[in-house]
Chain A
């Protein structure tokens, strides 16, 4: 019986964060694929009754939920490259940017892709504003974590990969090389790291899933829209 199990989903950026962290620390784990859109397993619901979401890390039978909580747990439990810095002030800064990414950047960027009309314009503006702030933190650094990737880089995975695919499919232009040169440079370095590169979902597979969802959203919107005569 594996000591470490991860309930995750191949397409979820939150789930992939944990895989990167475990691999960084050289931890062997059993991956359990959850069908998060259709039917969540009884075990997942047992281990995460509050949120019913992936990822859930199971260590010696005890569950830890919420990707950011899991990342800190992994850093505290296993030896290996540090995910968070040791200095308390630097740790506070990392936690600040992680929160900014998950509570501000991600929702705005996600909305910018999936909403329409005025809501979309507002989301695009917000996303641009937040990305500008993020761009500002990269001055003179290869990664958010400095010379090597750290927690902020791991959490920013959706920007480098998922969002770049989504914005193209959604037909919006938010994150460009011209507007965000530092973020662009960071993305290239980041996606070039073997530990990141080797733990991303296949672009074709992800594109297919997103495209199907865009179509479903368009169909629903057309059905709901009042006819204009």
Chain B
């Protein structure tokens, strides 16, 4: 592909940024990683994502691509000759997009109810919603090793970054994801065995500490 310049603007605890890191690793691409301070966003980030001012942003030869799942699809389409992330069959592709969309629509907001709950009721509500989402996802997984079947792919990439937040969810709402969703945790462990994934995920305990810091800052605790 010649001399491609790739820069990833990210914030390491982000479950969305993790998607892009994993995709880049899966394709074996060299890129420059830049950590953003979300309380002090760089001029580059604001210039490259003026609409949302959010990470992750992938800058490819000076041109920005924003929105994590859109970036993953872009990476898959540009570097189509290795490690395909989406299925080639249009129907299977549609199913993959459907599930990535489901994860995007539901999980973050419900998870946030847990970590940034204002009261016990909200945390409980968040926990119920998250468990319901996990149950639906376990149903979609069926008895397959990965959401796409035999191969690790787009839906797995879409979801696995949330693992960084599992310890925070469990501690803030007092439950065990392993106990409630063993099939999902088996899938998590399978994904973590991949170097591309373990390299791209930060420590869940540190994520929880960050949650506590923010809770204090927001006056929730």
- B94, chain A: closest CB distance, angstroms: 4
State whether A89 touches B97 (Cβ < 8 A): no
Q: Which A residues touch B93, using CB under 8 A? A: 72-73, 76
Q: Which A residues touch B136, using CB under 8 A? A: 50
Q: How many residues in B have their beta carbons less than 8 Å from beta carbons of A?
A: 22
Partner of B97, one of A72, A92, A96, A100: A72
State whether B70 touches A99 (Cβ < 8 A): yes
State in angstroms the CA–CA spacing of A95 and B90 once bound together: 17
Task: Using CB atoms, name the residue of chain B closest to A57.
Answer: B94
Encode contact with B along A32-65: 1 for CB under 8 Å, 0 otherwise.
0000000000000000001000000001001011
Q: Which residues of B (52-111) have their CB < 8 Å from a CB of A?
A: 60, 63, 65-67, 70-71, 73-74, 77-78, 90-91, 93-95, 97-98, 101-102
Encode contact with B along A96-138: 1 for CB under 8 Å, 0 otherwise.
1001100000000000000000000000000000000100000
State in angstroms the CA–CA spacing of A50 and B98 once bound together: 10
Q: Which A residues touch B60, using CB under 8 A? A: 89
- A93, chain B: closest CB distance, angstroms: 8
State in angstroms the CA–CA spacing of A91 and B63 once bound together: 13
Q: How many residues in A have their beta carbons less than 8 Å from beta carbons of B?
A: 22
Query: Is B51's CB within 8 Å of the partner chain A?
Result: yes
**With contacts A59-B91, A64-B91, A89-B65 known, is A95 near B70, CB below 8 A?**
yes
Query: Is A70's CB within 8 Å of the partner chain B?
Result: yes
**With contacts A64-B94, A76-B90, A100-B51 known, is A69 near B101, CB below 8 A?**
yes
Q: Which B residues touch A64, using CB under 8 A? A: 91, 94-95, 98
Query: Is A194's CB within 8 Å of the partner chain B?
Result: no
Task: Using CB atoms, name the residue of chain A closest to B49.
Answer: A96
Q: Which B residues touch A226, using CB under 8 A? A: none
State in angstroms the CA–CA spacing of A62 and B136 once bound together: 19
Interface, chain B (partner A; CB < 8 A) = 51, 60, 63, 65-67, 70-71, 73-74, 77-78, 90-91, 93-95, 97-98, 101-102, 136
- A-B contact sample (20 more), CB < 8 A, given A89-B60, A92-B70, A133-B51: A50-B136, A64-B91, A64-B98, A66-B101, A69-B94, A69-B101, A72-B97, A76-B90, A77-B90, A88-B77, A88-B78, A89-B63, A89-B74, A92-B65, A92-B71, A92-B73, A92-B74, A95-B70, A96-B70, A99-B70
Across chains A and B, which 3 residue pairs bring their CB atoms closest together, nearest first? A88-B77, A76-B90, A73-B94
